[in-house]
Amino acid sequence: MTAGTTGMTAGVATSSAIRFCMGVHLHQPVGNFDSVFEQHMTEVYLPFLTRAREAGFLPLTLHVSGPLIEWMEAHDKRYLDLVGELASAGQLELLLAGFYEPVLVALPREDRLEQIQRMRETLHARFGVDARGLWLTERVWESELAADLHDAGVRYALVDDRHFLVSGVSRDRLHAPFWTEAAGKRVALFPIDERLRYLIPFQPPEDTVGYLRALRAGGQRLAVLADDGEKFGGWPGTFDWVYTRGWLTRFFDALRPPIEAGEVRLSTFADALDNVPSGGLAYLGTSSYREMEAWSLPLDAASRLERLEQELGADRIAGPDGTLVRGAHWRNFMVKYAEANRMHKKMVVLSRRCHAVGDPWDARVAIARAQCNDAYWHGVFGGLYLPHLRDAVWRNLAAAERVLRHGERLGCQIIDIDADGHPEVWVHSAEFSAVVSPYRGGAVEEWTHFASGLNAANTLTRRRELYHRLPEQTPEHEQRTDDSAPSIHDLEHGVRLDALPPVDLDVRALLQDRLVSGVTSDAAVTSARYDPLLSWATAPLAFTVEQGASSVTIEMRDPASSFGKSVTFLDDGSIDVRWKWHIDALPEGALFMTELSVACPVMISAPDATRAFRYEIETVAMSERGLDRTRQGTAEVRCWPALRGAARLTVRHG
């Protein structure tokens, strides 16, 4: 069936038909590899939409993220041309979102509106569409969004059914659009049916047909699915299931009879909003989807939640009581992972500065690109654990700051940049930007060279994650049948380790100082299996700052001991560090050790050091493929005899 026809809705359209709104969300993050974009374009995005058109499975609703649109425009326009053809024929409804796929609640309010407006302008310019619906990235909702979406010209947004369930709305009421408001500004909300998310495409198509018929028999007027398009061939095992083993063809074939018989009617969300009676008024609490709420918990709390769910049992968790058993919220990733918080808060402070100086276009776009959500969190997907995604954030922040600091001389400001209640020293010029934390022993938490765009401190701490378990520690999980495909969450439960990976003593940064026994081996430091005699890696140090003609010096001391540390930044961005200490009753052979965790080559000069070595920082993290070992950077270690009482080191970008 070609574009311009009425698709499967050409059958008997009766008033008793249940409207089936099927939305597909397509996204690849800023900084992802071209090969990943290309593979998904040829194996997932284009085949799915082409076959839907051929089968007449229309209308559909589609969201294509800004990074994907930009890549397609630059490399392969076939998909966008097909989207334009179907949208012009009224067979494809296009959705808004933040253009670079940010989690909207994580942005300053002005930036939220800007991101949505850019997507609106792009869809109108490319496809001639005036989009009014919104795909809510990662379905992260906070009540204040209602007013912002209204101000952005959004008429309706898609959220999970869980958002309603945790607010006390019964499941049988969720097959309708609802309305919410903030400050009298209204927006409609469609609950996405979790049952459909797990049926499509992982279970036989007949199960979906049976579910839709059961809803209709129960008097429901609407069924809503909106989910990642990558599950139609991009996730592990799904290409074989969806295309080779024919799930997609079977799906279209299975839906054709109930559609042609007038039992099911394919619908856009806009049409459903106009034709399905409202479910009423709803006020949703802060929420995201169930798995996200669990992933954002710290380890101990996540373990307790898992045990509680096991004690309650699968049936009770799947029922009404289970909706009251919750994890944390998306913003908690900024607490769980200091590296995510560093990126996020740097983005916020640069965005504020950019607005204050008139929003130069190059800086504004770079900040918007740095707001892409993927690198800020971690669940089943690598996200934060993928160095190239974090690197893309830092490169864009560097590009923005380079514009904002053009012609600026070396200077500094004392500011709580990471919003933890403790001040940092932000040193900057037209050439570089660095953040020093006196509260964390004078560690350098950022050291960005604008010319290269590299933040030398962009490494990642080796942490214990919930899935870091040996086989005997792994809870039992229901096995799938041969006539189904593993969902991404089935893969999560299938993760196994032969040995537990190392866990770092402290969150990584540059210039973390410790006093260690002389018998502490390189291997012990590498595996973090040693106990320092003393550690200043997390010690709050008193500090003063001295601004020179061509330098900034941060003088720090430990009020509880004689330890002192001086960190000087020079015009060229190099760092000169000096330490002094006096420790009574030192063990024989004790060493003063500093560790620099770096994400790119640096040049270190420490001529008086008596011991020097490096090791690779490697994490073991879950991804859609299982467990990945990923190099996060290099740890450079320098040691001096503790009896010397002083040490010096200089470091430059390589």
Q: E strand or H helix at 399, and its extent? A: helix 387-404
Contact by Cβ (8 Å): 409, 429? yes
Closest CA to 458 of 401, 409, 388, 511: 388
3-state SS, residue 63:
strand
Closest CA to 447 of 462, 436, 438, 461: 436
How many residues in total does the chain contain? 654
Helix ranges (H only) for 89-204 are 109-127, 145-151, 161-165, 194-199
Catalytic site includes residue 572: no
Catalytic site includes residue 228: yes
3-state SS, residue 87:
helix
Q: Which two tokens stand for residue 467?
A: 């899935």
Q: Which two tokens stand for residue 387?
A: 């160095």
H, E, C per residue of 415-464:
ECCCCCCCCEEEEECCCEEEEEEHHHCCEEEEEEECCCCEECCCCCCCCC
Distances (CA, A) of 615 to 113, 143, 524: 45, 46, 11
3-state SS, residue 576:
strand
Looking at 138, 418, 424, 445, which residue is catalytic?
138
Q: How far apart are CA 288 and CA 160, in angstroms?
A: 7
Label the pairing between strands 411-415 and 591-598: unpaired
Q: What is the DSSP string of 629-642?
A: EEEEEEEEEEEEEG
Q: How far apart are CA 41 and CA 234, in angstroms?
A: 10
Counting Cβ atoms within 10 Å, is residue 300 exposed (0-12), middle (13-18) or buried (19+)? Answer: exposed
Closest CA to 287 of 278, 296, 279: 296
Looking at 43, 70, 144, 228, which residue is catalytic?
228
Widest distance between CA atoms in the chain: 91
Give strand pairing partners of 40: none
Q: Which two tokens stand for residue 568?
A: 């000087």
Return the sign of the alpha-carbon dihedral for residues 364, 369, 375, 379.
Answer: positive
Q: How far apart are CA 6 and CA 57, in angstroms?
A: 9
Give strand pairing partners of 621: 628
Contact by Cβ (8 Å): 63, 101? no
Q: How far apart are CA 155 and CA 188, in angstroms?
A: 6
Contact by Cβ (8 Å): 599, 487? no
Closest CA to 221 of 167, 264, 259: 264
Which residues are known catalytic residues?
A: 138, 228
